[in-house]
């Protein structure tokens, strides 16, 4: 990976997941991947098969030279699951993977790290797959399916690969939600999803999902709640002007702040301050 590519990927690369299985193959160089909370370093010849709906992140891409990423759609796996006795009868990796098919919402997911032990044909397999993807000649989709089956079947060869299972659980969701809550409580101002993403290393969609699961409200709704509580404090106990309060709470403008405040109290911030001070 050249410097321009590194900075491009590094700019937006966050924890993410797919609804398909992803097979990563490092042909040349090194690549570090974070699978949920575990960091795994892949060297030339290593593979990582990531279970679907598993959050992961490609890290330290500066040492990456040539890496292949192969997505295996759920419908393909579903078909293989029906025929696993034919295709993957002696394949421990795929047998385990297929046995979890239909249970993607379970709390536990299993991914596999495959360390290369010697010469194998993995690089050639990915080169052929890449060629078929690019050329798209008649029947290429069938060829890709067949080549993928052969590639996955080769992963069970114990003389070529050392297999390490990576089990991940969603039990960290509550802890993450609490950390997000504490962060919002301490900031006491509007926070963007981009800021939260860079702070916690997960994309905004995932952070919002786990937060809502834990507390029953979205991150945005909770931020607004905290901002309005802080606004009440400023209006009642400080001499800050409305404009200064808007700035302190990081609202884009006074109109936006007024609209949110009126939605909560039914009166403007100025009216609220006057009503409180008249008591």
Q: Is the pLDDT of residue 56 over 90?
A: no
Instruction: Give just the sign of the alpha carbon dihedral 243, 244, 247, 251.
Output: negative
Instruction: Give just the sign of the alpha carbon dihedral 223, 228, 230, 231.
Output: positive
> Tell me: the pLDDT tens digits for 189-248?
999 999 998 888 788 988 999 999 888 999 999 999 999 999 999 999 999 999 999 999
> Tell me: the pLDDT tens digits for 132-178?
999 999 999 999 988 998 898 888 888 889 989 888 765 456 778 88
Quote the CATH superfamily of domain 172-277.
Homeodomain-like (1.10.10.60)
Say if residues 191 and 225 touch (Cβ distance below 8 Å).
no
> Domain map of the chain by residue range?
21-169, 172-277
Cross-strand partners of 31: 42
How far is 79 from 98, CA to CA, in rounded Å? Answer: 10
Percent of the chain with pLDDT over 90: 50
| Secondary structure letter of residue 95 according to DSSP | H
User: Cα–Cα distances in Å, from 130 out to 55, 126, 154, 240?
Assistant: 25, 6, 18, 62
Arithmetic mean of pLDDT, 253-273: 96
CATH number of this structure's domain 21-169, picked from the four choices 1.10.3470, 1.10.10, 3.40.50, 2.60.120: 2.60.120
């Amino acid at each position: 990976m050249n410097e321009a590519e590194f900075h491009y990927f590094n700019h937006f690369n966050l924890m993410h997941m797919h609804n398909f299985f992803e097979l990563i193959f490092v042909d040349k160089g090194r690549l570090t991947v974070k699978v949920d909370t575990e960091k795994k370093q892949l060297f030339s010849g290593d593979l990582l098969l990531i279970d679907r709906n598993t959050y992961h992140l490609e890290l330290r891409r500066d040492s990456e030279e040539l890496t292949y990423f192969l997505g295996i759609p759920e419908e393909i796996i579903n078909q293989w699951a029906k025929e696993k006795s034919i295709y993957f009868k002696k394949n421990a990796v795929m047998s385990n993977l297929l046995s979890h098919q239909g249970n993607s919402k379970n709390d536990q997911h299993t991914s596999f790290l495959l360390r290369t032990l010697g010469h194998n044909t993995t690089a050639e397999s990915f080169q052929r797959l890449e060629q078929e993807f690019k050329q798209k000649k008649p029947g290429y989709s069938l060829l890709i399916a067949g080549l993928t089956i052969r590639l996955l079947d080769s992963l069970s060869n114990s003389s070529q690969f050392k297999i390490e299972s990576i089990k991940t659980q969603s039990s960290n969701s509550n802890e993450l939600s609490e950390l997000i809550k504490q962060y919002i409580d301490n900031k006491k101002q509007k926070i963007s999803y981009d800021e939260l993403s860079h702070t916690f290393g997960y994309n905004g969609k995932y952070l919002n999902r786990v937060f809502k699961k834990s507390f029953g409200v979205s991150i945005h709704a909770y931020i607004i709640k905290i901002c309005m509580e802080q606004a009440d404090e400023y209006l009642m106990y400080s001499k800050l002007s409305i404009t200064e309060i808007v700035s302190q709470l990081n609202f884009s403008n006074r109109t936006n702040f007024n609209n949110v405040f009126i939605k909560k109290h039914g009166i403007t911030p100025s009216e609220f301050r006057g009503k409180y001070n008249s008591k």
